[in-house]
A and B are shown apart, each in its own frame.
Chain A
Amino acid sequence: MAKIKIDGIELDVAPESTLLQACEMAGAEVPRFCFHERLSIAGNCRMCLVEVKGGPPKPQASCAMAVRDLRPGPNGEAPEVFTKTPMVKKAREGVMEFLLINHPLDCPICDQGGECDLQDQAMAYGVDTSRYAENKRAVEDKYIGPLVKTSMNRCIQCTRCVRFTNEVAGVGDLGLISRGEDVEITTYLETAMRSELQGNVVDLCPVGALTSRPYEFTARPWELTKTESVDVMDALGSNIRVDSRGREVLRILPRLNEAVNEEWISDKTRHVVDGLRTQRLDRPYLRGADGRLKPVSWAEAFGAIAAKVKATAPNRMAAIAGDLASVEELYALKTLATALGIASIDGRPALSGLDPKFGRGSYLFNATIEGVEAADAVLIVGADLRKDAPILNARIRKRWRQGGFKAAVIGTPVDLTYDHVHLGVGPDTLEALARGELAFAEVLKAAKRPLILVGQGAVARADGLAVLSAAARLARDVGAVSDEWNGFSVLHNGASAVGALDIGFVPGEGGLGTAGIVAAAGRGDLDVVVLLGADEIDTAALGSAFVVYLGTHGDAGAHRADVILPGAAYTEKSGTFVNTEGRVQLANRAAFPPGEAREDWAILRALSAVLGKTLPFDSLAGLRAKLYAAYPHLARIDTIAPTSAGDVIALADVGGAMDRAGFVGPIQDFYLTNPIARASAVMAECSALARARTTAAAAAE
């Protein structure tokens, strides 16, 4: 530790920390534009100038100078830093004046207005008039994709966006061309950016040069209601802030959570917003005798369901839950199904090999997302991380950039943005690796903390359990499972997946799984099928079954349904979601459901009364009390209940024969994975762009 004195306060800091970090620790605020904690240091904005004693006798950029660069005084006094002297103020005012020479005075029409670093800091360091009569620099606006709008006159060349795309996103799409006054940020050929994380450059931009295109000219930050919530687009549960005005959700921004998403979110998370406004189910529908859906009252819809359910034996009924269901409604539906004696319930994707009977450790991302940074080798089995969980991929890339890290993939070859070995496509490779026939087996054995990442491409298939068991066996054999490190990690794709497994929303005694329910309904063996937001199944194959759809959007499920019950989307209800690592998180209500739609648990409670099996709770608090009593770990919000390594060891002994087919990820189109995203015009545009890029790449080869 090195001693340093900041504004007269002496403190001990790590010698490699920068002066800016040391100043923050001493409680001194240092203005900055180019410096960002998660990006490399550029030192080009010069806004963070401080005065130092024990270094060069001129203002120093505190972001680019380390504490150890300063010399102690002649008698061994600690080096001193001043952040509030007149010299510092004058130097910063000079920097600000230079920055403003070419910055347009268009704050009233700029989308960044109200949340602009330049605006804020000009309040402290700006001068009231300009001394420059010359024309301002003009830069042409660039097209860099459908999500980010550019207004390049406003750019102050901090290069945060360039560093982000290069370092975090790993695509190198943006760059800085020309020199001096002619310098410009561009994608070189004015192509759209290719990253799934590109929306983050809007947050990083300290001025209004890069702003959100779907959100342009929509609202000012001070008129928005901010609600802290959790994302459901993938199973990571990224922490988000939902900004709404009145009943309308206007934008979604990331919220800082070091353990989950740091401060990034994927484009799907951020720009799915317009999907929340379109194709909404806002009243109950009932399919009439002529085969057409007609709007009805809640009582009529419930009456139709009750008449059908009462006339049907429990073994001819089933329920499937989709990817976006919260634990509360899964619990309500499970309780109702149990009361009715229905055994065929499932909240997993079709043909999943995951089963809660093997213990919680058998289906969680045991290494935890933050734990990825401690791993020194990763084997990715059956997952396309850029589609399944781009934020997790960014985390692995972050670990890879620190060095001493090896990655390998079994499954479809993909561009992960970091170096990796492609070992093979299917279970054969997994077996060969387990037998030690591949060089990567040595890497895994030598690694202190190997990470075996099993994706849905490997487990959501008929032999899923055998593959899962083989992966667990490999994890056990390479020493990935011990008391202090559990590297056996299952990556889910649906936000509801872990919650459903946690509360046992799986087939009971003699019950059918998702694929079994669809097949049985197609054969005519099932008469009533309840879909809780389940749109990813083959709804056309449900045969002549009476389908009750409880969901938010007019998607596949609603088109097939005989009764539609309109529910609330994730921004419209308070719900618990358990992410892929088992972290319990609460999503909060930012707006109200449209029209006559209600929160899903309340719909199930009302339906249960009509069915004569009234659920034992009348409020969300009552439901949660019952839920927490049955599953105590769900009450501990923002924590991960510890799992036992024994679950993985036991899973390794299950065995089973594996099919020879290669692992294919279930997500073909990253932008269109759920009903909300499919209703979004922005997501459709991104998807079309991504598809055109793939086709063009294929044509070039």
Chain B
Amino acid sequence: MIDFLLKLFTWWNGHTIGTMVHTRRNGELVGHDEFGNAYYRTKGGAIDPTLGVQRRWVIYAGYAEPTTIPPGWFGWMHHRTDVIPSRDGHRVREWELPHQPNLTGTPGAYRPKGSILGAARRASASADYQAWQPK
């Protein structure tokens, strides 16, 4: 029941009723990522007349958090590539990092250098000059 009410009144938990109807009618499931987000495209890869390319969309598993889209799927969503990560020929680059949720408001949040909230100590007074180092 609560699930139904959330679907009915919020847009940030999975899909809304309208999106569900649209996806059932026009969508074709392409795949899932490791977080369970489902990726769709227009049926048969048809060209969307307003976009000029096939429409691709994601339905989040639970809370709608766009940063959870992994790099491989991100590339597919933005038409940078047509090869989805689960398919052969997909290359994982060494600089692709695992997903990290936004830490703002948590103890792990970023603090600028010298902030009194941060764990780091302020640089000592010797930092106001640059010492000579012998070769």
Task: Report A's interface with B, CB cutoff 8 A.
Answer: 246-248, 276-283, 285, 292-293, 553-554, 558-559, 594-595
Contact = CB atoms under 8 A, between A and B. Distances in A.
Nearest to B125: A247
A277 B129 contact: yes
Contacts of B125: 246-247
A553 B132 contact: yes
A279 B131 CA distance: 5
A594 B133 CA distance: 14
Nearest to A594: B129
Nearest to B130: A278
Contact of B130 (A246, A280, A558): A280
A558 B132 contact: yes
B129 A282 contact: yes
B23 to A, nearest CB: 52
Of B129, B132, B134, most A-chain CB atoms within 10 Å = B132
A292 B135 CA distance: 8
Nearest to A591: B128
Nearest to A276: B129
Interface of B: 125-126, 128-135
Contacts of A553: 132
B134 A594 contact: no
Contacts of B132: 279-282, 553-554, 558
Nearest to A558: B132
Nearest to B135: A559
13 contacts: A246-B128, A247-B128, A277-B129, A278-B130, A280-B129, A280-B131, A282-B129, A282-B131, A282-B132, A292-B134, A293-B134, A554-B132, A554-B133
A553 B133 CA distance: 10
Nearest 9 A/B pairs, CB to CB: A554-B132, A293-B134, A248-B128, A282-B131, A594-B129, A277-B129, A278-B130, A279-B132, A280-B129
Nearest to A554: B132
Contacts of A293: 134
Contacts of A285: 134
B131 A595 contact: yes
B129 to A, nearest CB: 5
Contacts of B129: 247-248, 276-278, 280, 282, 594
Contacts of B135: 559
A633 B22 CA distance: 99
A558 B134 CA distance: 8
Contact of B134 (A247, A280, A282, A554): A554
Given A247-B129, A282-B126, 14 more contacts: A246-B128, A247-B125, A247-B128, A248-B128, A248-B129, A276-B129, A279-B132, A280-B129, A280-B131, A281-B132, A282-B131, A282-B132, A594-B126, A594-B129
Of B126, B130, B133, most A-chain CB atoms within 10 Å = B130
A247 B129 CA distance: 9
A595 B130 contact: no
A558 B132 CA distance: 10
A317 B71 CA distance: 71
Contacts of B126: 282, 594-595
A278 B129 CA distance: 6
Contacts of B130: 277-280
Nearest to B126: A595
A333 B105 CA distance: 62
A285 B134 CA distance: 9
Contacts of B131: 280-283, 594-595
A278 B126 CA distance: 12
A210 B131 CA distance: 32
B58 to A, nearest CB: 44
B124 to A, nearest CB: 10
Of B125, B134, B135, most A-chain CB atoms within 10 Å = B134
A566 B46 CA distance: 77
A689 B117 CA distance: 45
Contacts of A278: 129-130
Contacts of A276: 129
A281 B131 CA distance: 6
B64 to A, nearest CB: 40
Contacts of A594: 126, 129, 131
A549 to B, nearest CB: 11
A450 to B, nearest CB: 48
B123 to A, nearest CB: 13
A154 to B, nearest CB: 31
A281 B135 CA distance: 13
Nearest to A295: B134
B17 to A, nearest CB: 52
A558 B125 CA distance: 24
A554 B135 CA distance: 10
A533 to B, nearest CB: 14
A23 B37 CA distance: 83
A602 B26 CA distance: 87
A595 B131 CA distance: 9
Nearest to A292: B134
Contacts of A280: 129-132
A120 B135 CA distance: 52
B127 to A, nearest CB: 10
A277 B128 contact: yes
Contacts of A282: 126, 129, 131-132
Contacts of A554: 132-134
B86 to A, nearest CB: 52
Contacts of A281: 131-132
Contacts of B133: 554
Contacts of A558: 132, 134
A292 B130 CA distance: 20
A684 to B, nearest CB: 15
A678 B131 CA distance: 15
A558 B126 CA distance: 20
A281 B125 CA distance: 15
Of A276, A279, A283, most B-chain CB atoms within 10 Å = A279
Contacts of A248: 128-129
A502 B130 CA distance: 35
A50 B126 CA distance: 55
A328 to B, nearest CB: 23
A283 B132 CA distance: 9
A285 B135 CA distance: 12
A2 B130 CA distance: 61
A277 B132 CA distance: 10
A531 to B, nearest CB: 15
B46 to A, nearest CB: 53
A362 B133 CA distance: 43
Nearest to A293: B134
A283 B128 CA distance: 15
Nearest to A282: B131
